[in-house]
Amino acid sequence: MSAALEKTPLVFALPNVLNPMRDWLGHLEHGKQLSAKTVEAYERDVRQFLQFLAGHEGEPVSIAVLGALKITGLRSFLAQRRGKGTGARSLARGLAGLRSFFTYLRKQNIVDVTAANALTTPKQPKSLPRPVSASDAGDMLTEAQLPNYESEPWVGARDAAVLSLLYGCGLRISEALGLTMADLPSLREGLVRVTGKGGKERLVPVLKVVREAVDAYCSACPFVVMAHQDAAMPLFYGVRGGALSPRLIQKAVEDLRFRLGLPNSATPHALRHAFATHLLAGGGDLRTIQELLGHASLSTTQVYTQVDTTHLLDVFTRAHPRMIAAAKS
């Protein structure tokens, strides 16, 4: 159950709407096994819509009000959010949340809200992943290991190990930091089981250089040494002994960007993009890359073919003799 829904004064809707909404959120979390963050986002989007509709109607939203909802009401809500600076992706997610809620109401024979089905999803801006180059990725991993007078001696080894998992295995930062001591033996054997979005599991090969980076961190980190007897303990730690926060890795990468003169697009997630792009450029099979990344749909992975084509065209434009001659004339 969403904490926001519990804490917010529930004056924007009547119980005959709020009770099914709670049931729907529970269905998403336990039945559909969506991630907690996705459920939270869906709850927030639906709550914002109900608050908007309550203001528009001048009274708390009831099932009868939802049943009489017109497409103009939804358009007004999206226009209001767009006017507040909400982007197309967030608007599309919000509409997906509303449709999911309305579908649940229909399947439970509570009410049939047809207006959402007639509304077109906002057009999404086309953006390609921005991976770091192979040389920049190597520089980041090397630089991360260098001593930093502001932190404990083992912290550099920790950061290098995490970044190695992102670039060498294509893990999301949450997946790398979600590893526990129970995963260490299989990781050292070269094949680790990773839990990704929606609780989906996949097996990921671990390169020797990545295993060596993890071993170097484990040998240096005092908390790992103490945690060896408890398989439930995290693999990666902060300097105070708690589980390592993603924000600390993001800050470490920000520092690396400054030290190496890299663009702002060089982020932890850009290393995962680089993993996919460099595999594809080296002749990797798209289906295999999909499996390694843990993408539910092949279309999500196919975007990397566009990245590789863009890179080839960029090299062609900069290097072809006739293009260079034309630029000089």
Q: Which domains does the chain have, with CATH numbers?
A: 3-118 (1.10.150.130), 134-318 (1.10.443.10)
d(CA 320, CA 76): 52
By the 10 Å C-beta count (0-12 exposed, 13-18 middle, 19+ buried), 249 is classed as buried
CB atoms within 10 A of CB 145: 18
d(CA 124, CA 128): 12
Q: Which residues of the chain have pLDDT under 50?
A: 1, 4, 7-9, 312, 315-316, 323
Q: What are phi and psi of 210, to 5 degrees?
A: -70, -45
CB 197 within 8 A of CB 151: no
Nearest-5° Cα angle at 274, 254 to 123:
90
What secondary structure does DSSP assign to 237-263, as a single string? B-TTSSBPPHHHHHHHHHHHHHHHT--
pLDDT confidence of residue 283 = 77
150-171 CB burial, b ≥16 within 10 A, e <16: eeeebbbbbbbbbbbbbbbbbb
- Measure Cα distances from 115 to 69, 104, 146 in Å: 6, 14, 58
Please list the residues that pair with 193 across neighbouring strands: 203
If we measure between CA atoms, which residue out of 148, 274, 302 comes closest to residue 160? Answer: 148
Tens-place pLDDT, residues 215-254: 999 999 999 878 777 888 999 999 988 999 999 999 999 9
pLDDT confidence of residue 124 = 55
CB atoms within 10 A of CB 123: 9
d(CA 321, CA 287): 36
d(CA 170, CA 95): 30
CB 251 within 8 A of CB 175: no
Question: Which residue in the block uniquely carries the two structure tokens 């049943």?
Answer: 67
Tens-place pLDDT, residues 34-46: 778 788 888 998 9
Cβ within 8 Å of residue 94, ≥6 positions away: 45, 48, 49, 78, 81, 86
pLDDT confidence of residue 2 = 52
Q: Does the predicted TM-score (pTM) go above 0.85?
A: no
Is residue 165 helix, strand or coil? Answer: helix
Active site residues: 172, 197, 269, 272, 295, 304
pLDDT confidence of residue 125 = 56
If we measure between CA atoms, which residue out of 305, 129, 291, 145 comes closest to residue 209? Answer: 145
Question: Which residue in the block uniquely carries the two structure tokens 């080839």?
Answer: 312
